[in-house]
Amino acid sequence: MSARALQELWGIEHPVVLAPFGGVSSVGLTAAVTDLGGLGSYGLYGYGPDRIRDTVDALRAATSGPFALNLWLPTGDEVTPADVDLSCSSSTTAVAPLFAELGLDRPQPPERFLPPFDDQLDAVLEARPAALSLVFGVPAPDVVERAHARGIAVVGTATTVTEAVAIADGGVDVVVATGADGAGHRVSFLRPAEDSLVGTFALVPQVVDAVDVPVVAAGGIADRRGVAAAFALGASGVQVGTAFLATRQSAATDAYRAAIRSAGADDTVLTRAMSGRLARGLPNRAVRTVEAAGAIAPFPAQNWLTGQFRTEAGRQGIGDLQSLWMGQAAGLSHEDDAAAVFAELLAGVPGASGSV
C-alpha cells in the first residue's frame, strides 16, 4: 500500500503519525503534529467519558485538522480492587519508602482502577475523530462497524506477524507494526509479551507481505534515516513517540525530557515493575526498588499503585521516581520543538518536500 492511501484515509498531508502516550499525551503536541500535516494522536488510558469529551473539546479548539484517539482494549485478565488487597500487600510495602520520601500517605484503593471500556468507546465514537487506534487485541466486529458507520478509520496494533494478520482479518483499516525497540508497553496479545519481541525492521517487511492494508512502522524511529528505512521496507507511514515526547510541547516533565536526551542505545530495559505489564523504559530508582522487592501486583493494580507516587514525583521534578518510558533510539532525540522533529522526519519520506 502506498503512503498516498494512508494520507487519503485520514485526510493528512504527510504520512507521519504521533504515537499516543498513556498518561503523557498533551493537547498542544497532538494539535501541533496535526497542524504540521501529520496525524496527531492522543492516548486516553484511564479517561472516563466526561474527561474524554473535555479532551476532545480542547483538541477541536486547538486544531481544525484530523487526529486519532487511542484506547486500550480489555484483555480479560485485568484485576479489580476486589481481586487484590493493596492496603496490606507486599506490592504496597515494597514502595512504601517512596511514598514516605515524597511526603505521601499510603493510598487507599479506589472503587475501580479503570473506567469501563464500553463507556470510553461510546465517548470516542460520539467525538468522531479521524481514527480510533486500539492496542492489546483484535477489536470486536461491532466496534469496527460502529466506527465505520461514523466515518472513523480503525487502527490496530501488532507486535508479531500473526497479530497483524489477526487484526487485519478483524477489519481494521491500518496496522501499526510496533517493534520491541519502541517505547512503552508491549501491546502483545496472542502470546506473552516476552515471547513477542520482534525488532521493528524485522517486523515491518513481514507484516507488509502478510496483510492487504496500509502498514505504519513504529519503534526506534527518531530521524530521517529511520523513516527512509521504514519506507524502503514497504511501510506506508511511520509512527514516532520518543522524539516527540522530548519536545517542550509534550506533557513530559523537564526531568523526563532530560532523561530521554541523555539515554544511550543500550540503557533502556523491559520491565513490569511500574504497571504490571511489560514496557520499555529507563531503569530508574523506582524500577530498581520494585524489582529488588520482587513484589509486583497484577495489571492494572500495579499501575494504579505506582501512579500515586509517580504523579507527585512529577510535580516535584524527581525523574528517578517517574515512569520514564522511551525507546532504544532515545539518544537520537535532540530537538526541543515538535516542528523541528517533524521536519527531520519528513526529510526521510520519499518524495516529500525537503526529503533526502
Give the tens place of pLDDT for each residue, 236-263: 999 999 999 999 999 999 999 999 999 9
Per the CB < 8 A criterion, the answer to whether 28 and 252 are in contact is no
The terminus-to-terminus CA distance of the chain in angstroms comes to 21
At residue 355, the pLDDT reads: 45
Q: Which amino acid is at 215?
A: V
Say if residue 315's pLDDT is above 90.
yes
Listing DSSP states for 287-311 in one string gives HHHHHHHT--PPTTHHHHHHHHHHH
Per the CB < 8 A criterion, the answer to whether 115 and 48 are in contact is yes
Q: What would the 3-class secondary structure string for 13-73 be?
A: CCCEEECCCCCCCCHHHHHHHHHCCCEEEEECCCCCHHHHHHHHHHHHHHCCCCEEEEEEC
At residue 106, the pLDDT reads: 86
Across residues 320-332, what is the average pLDDT? 96
Say if residue 8's pLDDT is above 60.
yes
| pTM metric for this prediction | 0.95
Say what percent of the chain tops pLDDT 70.
98
Could you check whether the bond before residue 49 is cis, i.e. omega within 30 degrees of 0?
no
Per the CB < 8 A criterion, the answer to whether 152 and 69 are in contact is no
At residue 3, the pLDDT reads: 72
- CA nearest 337: which of 247, 258, 252? 247
Across residues 280-300, what is the average pLDDT? 95
Residues paired with residue 237 on neighbouring β-strands, in sequence order: 216
Mean pLDDT, all residues of the chain: 95
Q: Where are the domains of the chain?
A: 3-77+114-262+332-346, 79-112+269-325
Phi and psi based region of residue 46 (left: phi greater than 0; alpha: psi -120 to 50; beta: remaining): left
d(CA 309, CA 301): 14
At residue 2, the pLDDT reads: 65
Across residues 86-102, what is the average pLDDT? 90
d(CA 287, CA 322): 9
> Which of 75-89, 206-220, 316-330 is the least confident region?
75-89
Say if residue 356's pLDDT is above 50.
no
Of 195 and 352, which is predicted with more confidence? 195
Label residue 90 exposed, middle or buried (CB < 10 Å: 0-12, 13-18, 19+). Answer: exposed
The number of residues in the chain equals 356
Fold classified for 3-77+114-262+332-346? TIM Barrel (3.20.20)
- Please list, in sequence order, all residues whose beta carbon lies within 8 angstroms of the beta carbon of residue 12, skipping any fewer than 6 positions away: 6, 34, 37, 38, 39, 65, 66, 130
Across residues 153-178, what is the average pLDDT? 98
Which whole-number Å values give the CA distances from 80 to 22, 44, 105, 300, in the listed order? 19, 19, 22, 8
Say what percent of the chain tops pLDDT 90.
93
At residue 238, the pLDDT reads: 98
At residue 132, the pLDDT reads: 98
Say if residue 185's pLDDT is above 90.
yes
Across residues 186-215, what is the average pLDDT? 98
Say if residue 163's pLDDT is above 60.
yes
Q: How many helices (H) and strands (E) does the chain have?
A: 14, 11
Say if residue 353's pLDDT is above 80.
no
Task: Tell me which H or E stretch contains 158.
Answer: strand 153-158
Report which DSSP code applies to 131: E
